[in-house]
Structure formats: C-alpha cells, structure tokens
Structure 1
Amino acid sequence: MKLGAALMDAQAVLAAASDSPRLDAELLLGEVLSLSRAQIFSRLHDEIAEADAQRFAALVRRRRRGEPVAYLSGRQGFWTLDLEVTPDVLVPRPETELLVAWALECRPPQGEADVVDLGTGSGAIALALASARPAWRLTASDVSAAALAVARRNARHAGLRIEFAEGSWWAPFAGRTFDLAVANPPYIARHDPHLHALRHEPMLALTDGADGLQALREIVAGAGAHLRPGAWLLVEHGYDQGEAVRALFAAAGFIDIGTRRDLENRERSSGGRRP
C-alpha cells in the first residue's frame, strides 16, 4: 500500500471520531515513519512497509476510540515548546496560551520576579514563562508526583530551570510569597457531558468532583497570604464561569479584576491584583 492510500483509509476511519481526521492521520503516520507532514506529502506514492502499516493501523484504532493524538505520539506543541505528554498530565491546549500571554503583560519585560504555577501538569505554563522571561524565577507545583516527573523531564529537555514542589495548590508554600501566580485548575463540573470526551485524560486534573469551582475557590481565597503587594493572580476557567470567578476575586479583596476571552470569544481566563 502506498502512503497516500494509507492516509485516505485512516481518514475515513477517523471521520466519525475526530474533528480533524486528516490532520490526525497525518500526525500518526508521521509518528510511525519519523517524518514531518511535509515529508509525507513528498512521498505519497512510496510504499509503506507492512510492519509500519500495522503499527499505523493500531494507532488509528486507538485514536478512533478517543485517545488524544498527543498521547499516541507522546508529544504536544505549546507556545514555542515541544513538550512530552503522557496520560498522567492534561494535553496542553491552545487556549491556555492566553493565560501565558496575559501573565507576560503583568510584569515589565526586564527585571526579576518570583512566579508560581499552581497545578503545573506537564509544566507547560511554567516553561513557557521561563522561556520568555529568563530573569524570572519560576516555581511549579502539582499534587501528582507522576505529573511532576513529566514536568521535570520537560524542563530538562528545554534546558530551563524550574523549582518543583509537590502538594495541593498553596500547601507547599508556607511562608513564601510571589510577584505573580498562575493556575489552570480542574474546573469542569462533575456532571458535565464534556467529561466523557476527555475520559483518557486524568480526571484529577479535569474536575473537582463537584461544581467545578472548588479548586478556584481554594486558590483565590488562599492567595492573599502568598502574593506580595501589587502581585497578580491569573486563573483559567470554564467558558461559563467568568462571572462566578470574578466574584471570588472581589470577595478576596482583589482589585483591577478582569477577564480575557479566547479566539472563540468565550470567557476563558480571569485575574486580579492584590492591592
């Protein structure tokens, strides 16, 4: 079978299971053959070896059952980074880059700062900030030791220095304060129908098992003891949680409270500044 025919067959298999069947097929075939998409396009008339065809078909079947392409390839692009991802961490998503961009606006481009990323997962946010602001001192925490292992490998691969701490939200940071804090916590409600589509990702990082606001409440309420005067706290949240999250910031005494929208004009990140 030629590469072009293998791609067409895979696209047909994935048509009912993916929003991007062609792209998924190309990425999975590239993973099998260690080729870029451009290289695949230049070799569409080449024959695919039987062993490679079988491996490709197996990956396509797993993708059809809902496994993310990032888990099947073990990699995901985020910001300017190529990150390792495993089922121990969420797949970093483009909308989270909004949080990174906002965080970079909160401090002058030059100068040092102590910055913490709560619930770092793969390390995506912390590493993106560290890569853009070499003078910042980044600390990243997660309650999952397995997730921290992935984040540490990503930091080593990127050649970036991050301090890692294991624990839930502010718990590892008794007596410590920061100039900026960011978090992408679990914010999907327990009964949200979207959870089924995300069933291959770690539930601990997706939902609090309640109304989706529990982690956000804890992060915002505890921030006062860990933020220096004038420091910002920025959090990602669900598209329908903006009003509730802004109320949490107001109740905690934050000022300059605001919300940023994603490319689909949905409220996606909110933040505020300590007086």
Structure 2
Amino acid sequence: MTTVGALLCQGGRDLREAGIAESRREARLLLAGALDATIETLLRDPRADVPTEAAERFHGLLARRVAREPMARLLGHAGFWTLELEVGPQTLIPRADSETLIEALVERGLSPRRILDLGTGTGCLLLAALAEFPDAWGLGVDLVPEAAALAARNAARNGLKGRASFAVGRWAEAMSGTFDVVLSNPPYIESAVIDGLMPEVSRHEPASALDGGADGLDAYREIVAQLPRLLAPGGIAVLELGQGQGPDVAKLAEAAGLHVLGARDDLGGIARAMLLSQAQKPVGGPNDPV
C-alpha cells in the first residue's frame, strides 16, 4: 500500500516531465478523482494510506494525462458559468473564453423568451443563458446525436430539463420559427492549423467541432445566411469568434443584411463575442413590454 504523499510526488513529477503546467495541482485533482475525495481531504493527511484499487485508478488517470488527454475529460465534468457539466469525447470541453458570449448577452438587458443554440455540444451556452433568463425556453441543435443526448443530460443535471430541448441537425437547415436570441460557438480553426494546436486539443477534441475549413469561416457562412429568417423582430445573435476573425465575420453578416452591434473582448483582450441584429432595437429591453 502507498500513501497520499507518495502518489502526489510521483504524479507531480510525471506531469512536470510531460511538460504540463501546474503539475502539482493536476496531480491533486487526479488523486482526488481516484479517491472520490476533495483536495482538502488529501492535504489534511499526506501520510494516509491509499487503497490499492484507488492507487490503480490514479495510475491509470495519470498515464492518460501524461498522454495529454484533457483533465476535464479524465474527470468527466467541467465548470462553465454557474453550471457543472458532463463532458465526453463527442463534444468540445467548455472554455472560459466562451463565457464571454453569456456576458455580452446579459449586458444587453434583454428579456428573451425563445433561445436557439446552434452546435450546442455540451449545451453550455444554452443552459447558461437559460440560467440567466428564467422566463426563457431554449433549443439546442447539434449534428452529432451523442452530443445532443449529452446536452440533454446536462440540462437535467442543472435543473433545466423542462426548459430545454435538443435536436439533431446541421445548424438550422430544417428548422422553422424565430428566436429572440441565437447563440453559436461554431468550428473556426483553419484546417491546416489544427495539427499544430496543443495536444489536448489536436489529439482529443472532436475535429468536427474545430475544423472551420481552409479559412476558418465555413460554418459562419452557413450560420449567418440562416440568421435573417431565424431572428425574431429585434432579436440578436451572439457568435463566438476566433482570434482576428471579427472583420471577416462582420462582412459576412453585413452581406446577409444584418447589423453588427459590436464585439466583446474576452479576458485576454481578444474580440470573442460578436453581436448581430436585423433590427436597430433589440427585443425585450428595459423599456419594452414583455
């Protein structure tokens, strides 16, 4: 039998040698996951014995992390906004950068009733928006059936099952009706760049959620072309942007007859969320009837 301290030392060393930042913190997370315990419990007694089965689970997780499998994938969950979400190999892992879209939406002072999320993945954008707007109902669409099913589980996990529905489809191709808010974090990485991304992304994130075509704009072309019929009068769309893509996406939007309301930077100073509308006055503002 081995101890908490011995496993943490080994884990920190192995992760550091693999080039992983915050190796000590990640070793603690992995051991806490293997023991189904909190980090605080681990640190309370480094000399505590670790059962053999838990030590084996830790070694298995450690080997996968050394191979650069993402931490959230190993633990099976990730935090986003105020939510705790299940993650899996069929979806992108939610990132803090994407919270910029929710921040931008909340800042508009809207009161939306119908929200659409295109390429929903884990459901993170839709569910975060529903958590902020308790009178709203939302629909998430994903091309991958397993992703739509996972998003539905996340809705139930976060107490939003009755206010969210999920469907399988390519963007909004077969959809009718209009929405007050359309959200999307589409694939926007240039095809030739993907292999050079950090291993956690290039090896373990689904290519269909990353690959935006030769110029990274293929998904935007499809989505923007559909927005005029999807947006209710005064409705807005909030799209996630890749670095430097703002001007190109703005041109696509203007060519489709949409107004560019602006963009919001993420914490790194990168324009991350673009807001679009087909009306000068967004729906449901502070002075509008609900």
Q: TM-score, normalised by structure 1?
A: 0.94
Superposition deviation, residue 265 in structure 1: 0.9
What is the aligned partner in structure 2 of residue 242 from structure 1? 246
CA contact (8 A) 1:119 1:184 kept: yes
Q: Which has the higher contact order (CA 8 A, sep 6+)?
A: 2
Equivalent AA in structure 1 for residue 151 of structure 2: A
1:1-275 alignment to 2 at 5 Å?
Answer: 1-15=2-16, 16-108=18-110, 111-160=111-160, 161-174=163-176, 176-192=177-193, 193-194=196-197, 196-198=199-201, 199-275=203-279
Q: Cα distance 1:113–1:106, how it changes in 2: closer, same or farther (>3 A)?
A: farther
CA distance in 2, matches of 1:63, 1:122: 21
CA contact (8 A) 1:249 1:271 kept: no
CA contact (8 A) 2:113 2:136 kept: yes
CA contact (8 A) 1:103 1:182 kept: no
Superposition deviation, residue 173 in structure 1: 1.4
Equivalent AA in structure 1 for residue 273 of structure 2: S
CA contact (8 A) 1:246 1:257 kept: no
CA distance in 2, matches of 1:112, 1:261: 23
- Residues 90-117 of structure 1 deviation map (CA, whole Å, 9 limit, x = unaligned): 1101111111111223343xx4521101
CA contact (8 A) 1:166 1:172 kept: no
Q: What SS does structure 2 have at the residue aligned with 1:208?
A: coil
CA contact (8 A) 1:84 1:154 kept: yes
CA contact (8 A) 1:246 1:258 kept: no
Q: What SS does structure 2 have at the residue aligned with 1:14?
A: helix
- Residues 203-226 of structure 1 deviation map (CA, whole Å, 9 limit, x = unaligned): 111113432110011111210011
Equivalent AA in structure 2 for residue 76 of structure 1: A
Instruction: Report the count of equivalent residues.
Output: 272
Superposition deviation, residue 270 in structure 1: 1.3
User: Where does the alignment leave 5 or more consecutive residues of structure 1 unmatched?
Assistant: none
CA distance in 2, matches of 1:274, 1:132: 23
User: Where does the alignment leave 5 or more consecutive residues of structure 2 unmatched?
Assistant: 280-290
CA contact (8 A) 2:70 2:200 kept: no
CA distance in 2, matches of 1:3, 1:82: 27
Q: TM-score, normalised by structure 2?
A: 0.89
CA distance in 2, matches of 1:87, 1:12: 27
- Residues 40-69 of structure 1 deviation map (CA, whole Å, 9 limit, x = unaligned): 221322122222212111111101111111
CA distance in 1, matches of 2:52, 2:229: 60
Bigger drift between 197-206 and 12-21 goes to 12-21
Equivalent AA in structure 1 for residue 26 of structure 2: D
Q: What SS does structure 2 have at the residue aligned with 1:172?
A: coil
CA contact (8 A) 1:17 1:65 kept: no
How many percent of aligned residue pairs carry the same amino acid? 38
- Residues 127-186 of structure 1 deviation map (CA, whole Å, 9 limit, x = unaligned): 111112110111111111010110111111112020212101111313x11111010011
CA distance in 1, matches of 2:273, 2:19: 29
CA distance in 1, matches of 2:152, 2:224: 26
Q: Cα distance 1:78–1:219, how it changes in 2: closer, same or farther (>3 A)?
A: same
